[in-house]
Structure 1
Amino acid sequence: MDSYSVVKVLHLTAISVFVGALFAQVRLVRSVEHGTVDVRKAVIDSVARLDVAVTIPALAISWAMGLVLIVMGSWFPASWLLAKLAVVIFLSGTHAYISGILVRLREIGDPPPALLKLETLILLSVLAIVGFAIAKSL
């Protein structure tokens, strides 16, 4: 397997782990909206551990391998790439938003705010990224 293929596999694996963990975080935070304080604290602590152990490293590896692929492919500043980067930045911001909710919940203990349609936005973002990657080869 050549180096480009290895980097691509690492990139796609990290993205899959990141998106899966992001969905899990949203679901878990939403699941405690009506829970008791003890249940809420236990779930929030679990989600925070998931974030540190899985989500953040997967996000970092996704970005690092993505940047390596951009350099290896000499794709900058292709229009499909700029559009894809905008969506990737949105997904990274979504993670930051969820992380902020976790910090707020751990420190203040307020019930989680409604995460309106966040799962749908994550899914649409992933589909857009896949579409931009396919457009690259056209």
Structure 2
Amino acid sequence: MVYVWIKALHVAVVLVWAGGLLAQSMVLSSLSRSPSDQSTLLANRLRRWDSRVTSPALLLVWTLGISLAVLGQSFGEAWLMFKLGLVIFLSGLHGIKAGILRGAVVSGKAPPSWTRWSPVVSSAALGVIAILAVAKPF
């Protein structure tokens, strides 16, 4: 019973984190194409949201995910190792994008051109993670 509740909470905070990650991606993509006062204002608001909501959600994603892997004795399974690799990648990407967002807001630096692809890369990785978590294909 406890496992099911931890899993439900894990899914809920993953949704919050994924939403923040995708919002980050979209704002940075927009800023890299055509920075404006309106997009800078949005970036500043997103930066506050990220520090108050998205980053704490990421901490809970990791805490609850590791708890689930331990309780379910899933460590060592190939699907989980692949999923963990993608989660590590997205966690790092989140941190990198938070730094770029800070630079865009504080010093007005334009985001690098690769951030235009961030929404696609983030969405694809999140989709693969969801498939792995549900199907456990290998």
Structure 1 length normalisation: TM-score? 0.88
SS in 2 for 1:76: coil
Report Cα offsets for 1:74-96 as digits up to 9, x if no partner.
11111111111000001101101
SS in 2 for 1:117: helix
Q: Which amino acid aligns with 1:118?
A: S
Instruction: Tell which deviates more after alignment, 101-110 or 88-97.
Output: 101-110
Structure 1 consecutive aligned stretches of length 4 or more whose deviation exceeds 6 Å: none
- Alpha-carbon distance between aligned partners in 2 of 1:104 and 1:9, rounded to the nearest angstrom: 35
Partner in structure 2 of residue 77 of structure 1: 76
Partner in structure 2 of residue 22 of structure 1: 21
- Alpha-carbon distance between aligned partners in 2 of 1:51 and 1:39, rounded to the nearest angstrom: 18
Aligned residues: 136
Contact 1:80–1:135 (CA under 8 A) maintained in structure 2: no
Larger RCO of the pair (alpha carbons < 8 Å, separation 6+):
2
Partner in structure 1 of residue 98 of structure 2: 99
5+ long unaligned stretches in structure 1: none
- Give 1:137 shift: 7.2
Q: Which amino acid aligns with 1:5?
A: V
- Alpha-carbon distance between aligned partners in 2 of 1:111 and 1:21, rounded to the nearest angstrom: 20
Partner in structure 2 of residue 66 of structure 1: 65
- The alignment-based identity, stated in percent, is 33
- Give 1:40 shift: 4.4
SS in 2 for 1:74: coil
Q: Which amino acid aligns with 2:94?
A: H
- Alpha-carbon distance between aligned partners in 2 of 1:35 and 1:128, rounded to the nearest angstrom: 31
CA RMSD of the aligned region, Å? 1.8
- Alpha-carbon distance between aligned partners in 2 of 1:91 and 1:19, rounded to the nearest angstrom: 9
Contact 2:29–2:117 (CA under 8 A) maintained in structure 1: no
Q: Which amino acid aligns with 1:129?
A: I
